[in-house]
A and B are shown apart, each in its own frame.
Chain A
Amino acid sequence: MSDLSKNTPLIDFHRSRGGRIVEFAGWNMPVQYAGIIEEHKAVRNSAGLFDASHMGEAFVSGSDALEFLNYALSNDFSGLENGAARYGVLCNPDGGAADDVIVYKMIDGTYMVVLNASNTAKDMRLLKERAAGLGGRAFNVEVEDISDSFALLALQGPRSPEVMKAVFNADFSGLKRFHFTSDARMIISRTGYTGSDGYEIFCPPEDAVALAEKLSACEGVSLCGLGARDSLRVEACYPLYGHELSDSITPLEAGLGWAVKLGKDFVGRDALARQAADGVKRKVAWFKTEGRRIPRDGVDVFSNGEKVGKVLSGAWSGTWECPIGSALVEAQKISEGGLYVDIRGSKINLEIREKTK
């Protein structure tokens, strides 16, 4: 692992509890504790605790904050109420994705935008440029990098509400999905990236260890790493920047049309409107396979001997006990079916899954 990589406030906590540390997006993070499959199952059946402190946070405030977000991001945040969160894509002018983000509305004119760790520096630059008018419109808004002000813990799984109650001595079961509550120190949000019920807790870095200790001490809570985070999100058909969504894969190709509002002006809008009008030629498809061999990132996808796409993510489903993944495939071929990959001479059929969302 690189000495130049950054540490979250929980690095010693991870090490002392047997987390296997790897470098990810410039951070030293645990890839697993007990094992990826076991952690995956813990989240689906009980509860799992993840360190997501590497994620970036931007604070966006000012009288034009809403107009700015609507211009800088693909989704429309107009109807977003205080204490609610919404997904959006930060697009490049050509329609490709620079990142995907979640916008939290604190109060009118004040938002927090949560960014992927690997993109935080780039996103901050893009957001500041767009605020300053480099995209053609200037806004009365301030964009501030507050990533160092927060640690982020994700408690995920069906047992999460009762664990939260035990630790905070307060009932968060009534908090609706994609809503949050906050006080002077913390934000508690009913969000996550696993496909299971759960919460994300933004807290001051100095509180993180004590909180992680309390949460992980509760019955039924397993410590989880990035490996399970990945297999869970693939199982839930959630895109990950750099795989299903990237500079060269637009949100429309990624199946995120629901978060792209072409009826308003935003960076990338014209390119995406053209793509929508011409028809999306290739799409991200989510698959499962029989057998035990995981099709890995970069493997070619075939149909009748013809190369029609590439695998973007491959993982093991702890729920169905089979390989799962995603691929970017010519749109027409997805509906025709008969897609397969070749792993060292073995033909493996891809069973296309209906996206859960």
Chain B
Amino acid sequence: MSIRYTKEHEWIKLLPDGAALVGISDHAQEALGDITFVEFPRVGEEFDKGAVFGVVESVKAASDLYMPVSGKVLDTNAEVDKDPQLVNTDPTGHGWLMKIQPRDPSEAASLMSEKEYLAGL
């Protein structure tokens, strides 16, 4: 499945094994400026859709991160933990934030396509 976006500027990509990657949009990283720190959730934590799962801090501000769908945290991106600016340089690729197990895979389908998201900016 292709990438889906929320109006809070998170994205989600479903993987072939049913898990999903979550990150923030290019627009979000651009608006935040240089990112200095990401506060990740713990692996195993479960969140409902819309819940705050972490915080991203930039030189300018700290911003809450919201779950695009309900699910359980499987992994967080150690590369981003080491070098948070990866989120600036490659927000929808190597700058992913966490891997989750969505509770209901169909939930992601109701989110915006990239085209719809970009049109709403």
Q: Does B121 contact A (CB under 8 A)?
A: no
Please tell me if the beta carbons of B59 and A227 are within 8 angstroms of each other in the complex.
Answer: yes
Whether B57 lies near A35 (C-beta < 8 A) is: no
A293 interfacial by beta-carbon distance below 8 Å: yes
Residue of A32, A37, A38, A291 contacting most chain B CB atoms (<10 Å): A37
Across the interface, name the chain A residue whose C-beta is closest to B36.
A292
When distances are taken between beta carbons in the complex, the residues of chain B under 8 Å from A323 are 36
Contact assessment for B34 and A37 in the assembled complex, using a CB-CB cutoff below 8 Å: yes
Most buried by A among B39, B60, B61, B88: B60
Query: In the complex, what distance in Å separates the CA atom of A294 from the CA atom of B33?
Result: 14
> Considering only CB atoms, which chain B residue lies closest to A230 in the complex?
B59
B interface residues, tally (CB under 8 Å): 13
A292-B84, A344-B39 known; A227+B33 contact, CB < 8 A:
yes
Mark each residue of chain B from 40 to 68: 1 if its CB lies under 8 Å from any CB of chain A, else 0.
00000000000000010101111000000
Interface string of A29-57 (1 = CB under 8 A from B): 00110011110000000000000000000
Residue from A38, A294, A315 in contact with B57 in the complex, judged by beta carbons closer than 8 Å = A294
Q: How far is the CA of A209 from the CA of B84 in the complex (A)?
A: 36
Residue of A nearest to B88 (CB): A35
A231 within 8 A of B: yes
**Shortest distance between the CB of B101 and any CB in chain A (Å):** 25
Q: Closest residue of chain B to A34, judged by CB?
A: B34
> Would you call A296 an interface residue if the criterion is a C-beta within 8 Å of the partner chain's C-beta atoms?
yes
Does B37 make an interface contact (CB < 8 A)? yes
Closest B residue to A35 using CB positions: B34
A residues 293-328 in Cβ contact with B at 8 Å: 293-294, 296, 315-316, 323
**Docked pose: A339 CA to B62 CA in angstroms:** 22
The CA of A103 and the CA of B84, in the complex, are separated in Å by: 43
Return chain B residues, CB-CB under 8 Å to A36: 33-34, 59-60
B79 to chain A, nearest CB (A): 14
A32 to B33 alpha-carbon distance, docked (Å) = 9
Using a CB–CB distance below 8 Å, which chain A residues touch chain B?
31-32, 35-38, 227, 231, 291-294, 296, 315-316, 323, 344
- Inter-chain pairs besides A227-B33, A316-B59, 11 sampled, C-beta below 8 Å: A36-B33, A36-B59, A227-B60, A231-B59, A292-B36, A292-B37, A293-B39, A294-B36, A294-B57, A315-B59, A344-B55
4 closest A-B pairs by CB: A292-B37, A316-B59, A37-B34, A36-B59
A-B contact pairs, 26 of them (CB 8 A): A31-B33, A31-B60, A35-B33, A35-B88, A36-B34, A37-B34, A37-B59, A38-B34, A227-B60, A231-B59, A291-B37, A292-B57, A292-B84, A293-B36, A293-B37, A293-B39, A293-B57, A294-B37, A294-B59, A296-B61, A296-B62, A315-B59, A316-B34, A316-B36, A316-B59, A344-B55
